[in-house]
Amino acid sequence: MPKPTAQTVQAELVQLKQENTKEHTALEKKVDNLQDQIKENRTFFTERLDRLDSRIWLIMVGTVSTLFTVLVTLVAGML
């Protein structure tokens, strides 16, 4: 195997740097894409949880008001 010269080593180094830059750029794009998807998912699930929370409060208010109405009716019936 011939001994590598400074020029061949330099050429290989430049080639490796170019390949590294391409891979790095591709990885940066993938990371940016994933960060955007995470933000979208976070927003989606936050909205879903807010709607679920509203429904739970609505059910609780309905239950408590029904209980109150039944109790008032029972008390009024006793009088």
Whether the pTM exceeds 0.85: the reply is: no
Residue range 55-62: mean pLDDT, rounded: 97
Could you tell me the residue ranges of all domains in the chain? 1-79
What pLDDT is recorded for position 2?
77
CA distance 44 to 42: 5
Q: What is the pLDDT of residues 7-49, one digit of tens each?
A: 999 999 999 999 999 999 999 999 999 999 999 999 999 999 9
Instruction: Report how far residue 41's alpha carbon sits from residue 46's, in angstroms, rounded to the nearest whole number.
Output: 8
